[in-house]
Structure 1
Amino acid sequence: MSMPRKAALACAALATTGLLASCTSNSTDSGDSGGSTTVSSNDDPGENVVIGFSGPQASHGWMAAINRFAEEAAAQYDDVDLRVAEGTNDPSTQVSHIETFINDRVDAIVLLPTDGAALTQVATQAMEAGIPVINVDREFSDDAAARLTLLGDNYGMGVSAGEYACGLIAEHNLGDDAVIAEIAGIDSLPLTQERSQGFADALATCGQDVDNRVAAEFTVDSGERAASNLLQAAPEIDIIWNHDDDQGVGVKAAFDNAERDEFFFIGGAGSANAMRWIEAGEMEATVIYPATQAGDGIKLARLIAQNRGMSDLVQIEVPRRIVLDAPVVTADNLDQYTPMGFES
């Protein structure tokens, strides 16, 4: 689900929510496109469009935020009629959602696939019917199944965490023998493997590696169990990176129960809890994995359906692939990212 770090950062510079929300006009004349793409201020009113959205079941704070940001983005525009399918984690149910959108002849479809491979065929059918598909977070098995693929950067998330850890080691003179721990998510998932690889690669640049690693399951209970096991195995730790702020509720509980706070605690994803812990001085930082992806997808689906481009680009077409950045949130930039925090 990732591309090389440099390419990801280049794409990300074009695609953050803040950029899309504050675009300035390259041309104030939206005019009559005659079927061709036009460039105007992104938020200028355009042709009325119907966008179908199929998101996940809200069984996880990040998943719930995906759906919320999609609806909030659509609500910003009087020219968007958003039709929301019931959230699901079942591929067959989601296929039926997309088939309904095709039959209804919506102008664009935005979806976070329950399973990219399982949704590829029906997404291709939508594309063949002339309905652009915006694929969020989980790629299809065929690039042609989507007009736009919009992704978070799992490898880059690990890199950001590792680079920040290296900075802490240098700043606090922790030395070559700094003890670094990692609490991963579900190890069988490619996204977890990519995050861990990015973390390891970044640590290697400052001569460090992971001394203690455990895996949880993106849930509060599993986070608490994994963190408790980690603390028992390592009597002294300098830095801990936890992949996921939802499971971080349990991780933090384990820290508190053990009365352990000698380490710098770095989180992942960007929950509201993490933002509050940073503000209170109970957490050093968290690395964003944007829950705003579907909101960005709605904004871009609107432009694509209206035959418009992104006004901050010279290129008049919306790109086919965008990888969002994985910035580190600290006490210094907390105010900027707090509105993006999601409740666990």
Structure 2
Amino acid sequence: MNYLLHAATILAGATLATGAWAADGKPLAKDCGPNNDYVIGFSQANFKEPYREHVNHELERLVKNYPKFKIVIADGQASVNTQVSQVENFMTQQVDLLMISPFEAAPLTPVVSQVYKKGVPVIELDRKTTGDAYTAFVGGDNRKIAKEAGEWTAKTLLPDGGEVAILEGLPSSSPAIERMEGFKEGIAGNPKINLVATQPVDWMEDKAVTVFSAMLQAHPDIKVVYTSNDLAAAGAYIAAKQVGKQDQVKIIGTDGLPGPSGGIRSVADGQWAATYTYPTGAAEALELARKILIDCATEVPRNVTVPSQRIDAANAKEMYGKETF
């Protein structure tokens, strides 16, 4: 896929009615234009999650298409305090644009708001802070993705009903909340489905093993588990296999990462029922940065939603190893 063309197409189709714009009609960036060089500071929530590594690699690969850009990616280490310090350091270094994937929404809102109010463009990637003190958000529609997973469960996996469970991500992050609520909405259409357990695992595989093991002990008839990310899905599979229930429990992941350790392979190998791709948004974020810094845009789309798709037994083997999202 041509990522830049894909990103430009999405941005071109995004509505500007809800766009971010300069109230005085001036460019969103104080210093902009095609002749300058720009530094983009990106505070990543952490470097441990495979999805986060995938985002970083995509940004580093795609930024090469923008010779005027240099991107500095900092490891938030799954720590609010670390990310606050990183954002403050980026401001001291006078970066031209801030990108951030906040580990937690509310605690990082004040420092991000300060940056935005100082006139530095802010692109939030994958996760939002609270309020509206940012220039643009790029990410998937978590609620919609999870709702589709719930509807698929209700209609295809368990049309006759059964017990299901949810392994939630970090409950203080916007994607975890939206994915849990979306899945609940999706399965609500089938009154024969019984949600017997919901518990956060903070996106972590080892915690998912522990939590789902306890769930299976308390509810041995669980037929489907929806997980907020692929690491949690991997943990759920380990827990199910430990008690010989890997064939009974249908696992749904979220991320759909490529490669030998990604979710697509787990579906292709028959370990999981499905995973839903969650594109990095790297191409779209860099295209927004180009509009803001190089084109001196006075307005950009406020929200850019990157598309997702379900990977299941019908398409997993074909998709395996392809980085097309």
Task: Tell me whether the two structures share a fold, i.e. TM-score over 0.5.
Answer: yes
CA contact (8 A) 1:270 1:340 kept: no
**Could you say which residue in structure 1 is the equivalent of 2:7?**
20
1:126 maps onto 2:136 in alignment: no
Give me the whole-angstrom Cα distance separating, in 2, the residues matched to 1:133 and 1:94.
Answer: 14
- Say which SS state the counterpart of residue 134 (structure 1) adopts: strand
Match of 1:280 among 269, 284, 301: 269
Q: 1:82 to 1:212 in 2, by over 3 A?
A: same
The offset of 1:300, in angstroms, is 1.9
The offset of 1:231, in angstroms, is 2.9
Give me the whole-angstrom Cα distance separating, in 2, the residues matched to 1:133 and 1:24.
Answer: 17
Q: 1:78 to 1:210 in 2, by over 3 A?
A: farther
What TM-score, normalized by structure 2, do the two folds share? 0.76
Give runs of aligned pairs for residues 1-344 of structure 1, distance below 5 A: 19-20=6-7, 48-143=37-132, 145-169=133-157, 175-176=159-160, 178-186=161-169, 188-189=171-172, 191-217=175-201, 218-260=203-245, 261-272=247-258, 273-290=262-279, 292-294=280-282, 296-307=284-295, 317-334=299-316, 335-336=318-319, 338-340=321-323
What TM-score, normalized by structure 1, do the two folds share? 0.72
Q: 1:118 to 1:213 in 2, by over 3 A?
A: closer
Instruction: State the Cα RMSD in Å.
Output: 3.5
CA contact (8 A) 1:137 1:152 kept: yes
Give me the whole-angstrom Cα distance separating, in 1, the residues matched to 2:311 and 2:52.
Answer: 20
Tell me the alpha carbon deviations over residues 241-264 of structure 1, each in whole angstroms, 9 at most, x when there is no partner: 223211222211122222220343
The offset of 1:159, in angstroms, is 0.1
Q: 1:193 to 1:117 in 2, by over 3 A?
A: closer
Give me the whole-angstrom Cα distance separating, in 2, the residues matched to 1:227 and 1:18.
Answer: 42
Tell me the alpha carbon deviations over residues 50-108 of structure 1, each in whole angstroms, 9 at most, x when there is no partner: 21222123132233333333222323322312123344433343333333333433321
The offset of 1:294, in angstroms, is 4.7
Q: 1:271 to 1:129 in 2, by over 3 A?
A: same
Number of residues of Structure 1 aligned to a counterpart in Structure 2: 299
Give me the whole-angstrom Cα distance separating, in 2, the residues matched to 1:17 and 1:255.
Answer: 41
The offset of 1:201, in angstroms, is 1.4
CA contact (8 A) 1:50 1:107 kept: yes
Q: 1:147 to 1:154 in 2, by over 3 A?
A: same
Give me the whole-angstrom Cα distance separating, in 2, the residues matched to 1:60 and 1:330.
Answer: 22
- Say which SS state the counterpart of residue 267 (structure 1) adopts: strand
- Say which SS state the counterpart of residue 67 (structure 2) adopts: coil
Give me the whole-angstrom Cα distance separating, in 1, the residues matched to 2:182 and 2:10.
Answer: 31
- Say which SS state the counterpart of residue 53 (structure 1) adopts: strand
Give me the whole-angstrom Cα distance separating, in 2, the residues matched to 1:286 and 1:149.
Answer: 24
Amino acid at match of 2:135: R
Give me the whole-angstrom Cα distance separating, in 2, the residues matched to 1:267 and 1:225.
Answer: 17
Q: 1:46 to 1:331 in 2, by over 3 A?
A: farther
Amino acid at match of 2:250: F
Give me the whole-angstrom Cα distance separating, in 1, the residues matched to 2:35 and 2:140.
Answer: 28
Amino acid at match of 2:103: T
Give me the whole-angstrom Cα distance separating, in 1, the residues matched to 2:83 and 2:284.
Answer: 20
- Say which SS state the counterpart of residue 51 (structure 1) adopts: strand
Segments of structure 1 that go 5 or more residues without pairing to the other structure are 1-15, 27-34, 38-44, 310-315
